[in-house]
Chain A
Amino acid sequence: MIQFTEEAKRRYQTILSHYPEKRAALLPVLTLAQREFGWISQEVAEYIGGLMCYPPSDVLSVATFYTMLHKKPAGKYHIDICKNVSCWLMGVNPCVDEIKRQLGVERRDVTADGKFSWDTTECLGSCGTAPAMQIGDRYYENLTPKSVAEIIENLRNE
């Protein structure tokens, strides 16, 4: 049976305090849960449902609506690379191929060492500095296949 850590429980309480109604806190709580457990498994959905007194189907339904909540395990570093207009115009496809070559897994799959997973995403809002990708809460912009390789290399060695 999974559980929030004490720290997370405290965080959960503060989140609740921000909203006039409990339901409104569901999305932030799911975000917190993802940070805690890595991804929103059915187990997690059930736990959150129990915590907030909503049916698990309800929680999972919300989770499946938002693309940033992973519905399957993700790597320690999850790479989201933008494939939208501006990034595509500035040549993102070679970078995507480079990522695939570097990690050797298809999108949404996790590398053997569990360190990486990647996915293409829609506009990240850095069209001016396209192509761009996001790892964790960090943006990497003006990508080239070369820079992509370097970034992944650095993360590997961390």
Chain B
Amino acid sequence: MPALPGMTKILLANIDKPDQASITKYRERGGYKALEKALAMEQTALIDEVKASGLRGRGGAGFPTGMKWSFVPRNTNKPTYLLCNADESEPGTFKDRILMERDPHILIEGMAIACYALNCHLSYIYIRGEYEFVANTQQKALDEAYEAKILGPSVMGKDFALDIFVHLGQGAYICGEETSLIESLEGNRGYPRIKPPFPATHGFLASPTVVNNVETLAALPWIVQNGAAAYAAIGTEKSKGTKLFSVSGHVAKPGVYEVDLGYPLLDFINNEAGGVANGRKLKAVIPGGSSVPVMTAAECEGVLLDYESLLKAGSMLGSGGMIVLDETTSMPETLSVIADFYAHESCGQCTPCREGTGWAAKILKNIIAGEGKPSDVDLLLKIADMMEGKTICPLADADVMPIRSFVTKFRSEFEALCKS
């Protein structure tokens, strides 16, 4: 990836340097310094540091990481677990893959820091099954780390034991949801759990558990190294730090970019991502992975890439999986593809999602096949209402948002199909 001026490089600093994946090169470039520093600090101080940095969960929900950690009960007789959520399945998202593929040690270092802060001695990286080759790279890195005594009975010679294992998923989008990930890790069907109780107290094997996204953990070394203030200085006053955006669809230069939060959306598309491909006009943008509301080109005007600004514009930052749609795209077909995805990935545990996602997908198929009734457009919205906020996990809502936004913002296209 090209490093562009005016943008802090925290996660992708060394991403393109030759064999960054090897521990020697990683150390040469200042790796594992942060861990050393962290191990010297007080655990609580470390948590406060992370709190102060204003780092927020990069998986999609954007929950402040420091706060999440502080929920974990201290000195219980139960062990604490840190689970790294590398089950990156959100359509349009492929940022974690780059990190683990090219710079696996940054994740290990981040995890080691987090584990130390949370006083956790056993940790798992839940990598989606499709990323087997990524998992292999990560595993290699882990083995190196064990050899270098960075992991194992005593981390970097300090009296702190830590084991990290790679756990491969086997193809289930829902396992990206933290409670579902825990269930899956326990060897069950990946059915999300009802909260409360929250994982922070009753997670993996009913013990206190923290689930963090790869990108979140990977940001830790820099924060520890350069201090919370430096990190907090980046970005806007509510959304601090940098964020990885993985751009795909109709853009000239798709790929993963790191930008300071608060960077203008359109500039990002037009400059960094090289603008819409083949000189076509921009029609719409799905800014944060398929499960956030779509934004029309007009709506994108003046929107900044941060949690608040996007929320204000009626969408979400999500996982930063940006999908760009040009003028030639048929919105009903796009929505149908998305709806199919959710119908396929609904776990089938609770009723509204199980039945609703499938029904919506079938209706959309009908519409595209030209067999839709004019009433179907409203039926889609009705189904969206029936699903929203009634389910155990957010997957149904993740289906509702595209359906509602697509149908309301591009209604004419749907109706045109239904008439014929």
Whole-angstrom distance between the Cβ of A108 and the nearest chain B Cβ: 14
- A137–B247 alpha-carbon span in the complex (Å): 24
Of the candidate stretches A2-10, A25-33, A149-157, the one touching chain B is: A25-33
Interface centre among A27, A69, A85, A137 (most CB of B within 10 A): A85
Give the contacting residue for B187; candidates A24, A86, A137, A139; CB below 8 A.
A24
A105-117, CB under 8 A of B: which get 1 and which 0? 0000000000000
> Is B91's CB under 8 angstroms from A84's CB?
yes
For chain B, the bracket of interface size reads 35 or more
> Is A66's CB under 8 angstroms from B172's CB?
yes
Nearest-neighbor residue (CB-CB) of A23 within chain B: B187
Interface centre among A27, A62, A68 (most CB of B within 10 A): A27
Whole-angstrom distance between the Cβ of A56 and the nearest chain B Cβ: 15
Q: Given that A84-B341, A89-B325 are known contacts, is A138 also in contact with B133, CB under 8 Å in the complex? A: yes
> Is B189's CB under 8 angstroms from A23's CB?
no
- A101–B368 alpha-carbon span in the complex (Å): 24
- Chain A CB within 8 A of B129 CB: yes
- A104–B256 alpha-carbon span in the complex (Å): 37
- A25–B94 alpha-carbon span in the complex (Å): 27
- Chain B CB within 8 A of A94 CB: no
- Chain A CB within 8 A of B45 CB: no
Whole-angstrom distance between the Cβ of A34 and the nearest chain B Cβ: 9
> Is B170's CB under 8 angstroms from A69's CB?
yes
Q: Given that A20-B205, A122-B341, A130-B248 are known contacts, is A62 also in contact with B187, CB under 8 Å in the complex? A: yes
> Is B172's CB under 8 angstroms from A65's CB?
yes
B235-257, CB under 8 A of A: which get 1 and which 0? 00000000000111110001110
**B188 neighbours in A (Cβ, 8 Å):** 23, 62
**A65 neighbours in B (Cβ, 8 Å):** 172, 189-190, 347
> Is B248's CB under 8 angstroms from A134's CB?
no
> Is B169's CB under 8 angstroms from A66's CB?
yes
Q: Given that A85-B338, A128-B247 are known contacts, is A27 also in contact with B89, CB under 8 Å in the complex? A: no
**B88 neighbours in A (Cβ, 8 Å):** 125
**B329 neighbours in A (Cβ, 8 Å):** 89
- Chain B CB within 8 A of A21 CB: yes
> Is A27's CB under 8 angstroms from B170's CB?
yes
Query: Main SS of chain A's interface residues?
Result: mixed
**Which residues 17-71 in A have Cβ within 8 Å of B in the complex?**
18, 20-21, 23-28, 30-31, 61-62, 65-69
**B321 neighbours in A (Cβ, 8 Å):** 127
> Is A67's CB under 8 angstroms from B170's CB?
yes
**A128 neighbours in B (Cβ, 8 Å):** 94, 246-248, 254-256
- A126–B256 alpha-carbon span in the complex (Å): 11
Give the contacting residue for B344; candidates A66, A85, A122; CB below 8 A.
A122
**Which residues 331-352 in B have Cβ within 8 Å of A in the complex?**
333-334, 337-338, 340-341, 344-345, 347
Give the contacting residue for B129; candidates A20, A31, A90, A130; CB below 8 A.
A31
Besides A23-B188, A123-B91, A128-B94, 14 other A-B contacts (C-beta < 8 A): A20-B122, A62-B188, A65-B347, A66-B129, A67-B172, A86-B91, A86-B248, A122-B173, A123-B89, A123-B92, A123-B173, A127-B93, A127-B246, A127-B249
- Chain B residues close to A by CB (< 8 Å): 79, 88-94, 97, 122, 128-133, 136, 165, 167-173, 184-190, 205, 246-250, 254-256, 286, 290, 321, 323, 325, 329, 333-334, 337-338, 340-341, 344-345, 347
6 cross-chain pairs, A with B, having the tightest CB-CB distances, nearest first: A26-B187, A127-B248, A68-B171, A66-B170, A137-B132, A67-B171
List 7 interface pairs A-B (beta carbons < 8 Å), by A numbering. Answer: A23-B186, A27-B169, A67-B171, A89-B249, A123-B90, A123-B341, A127-B246
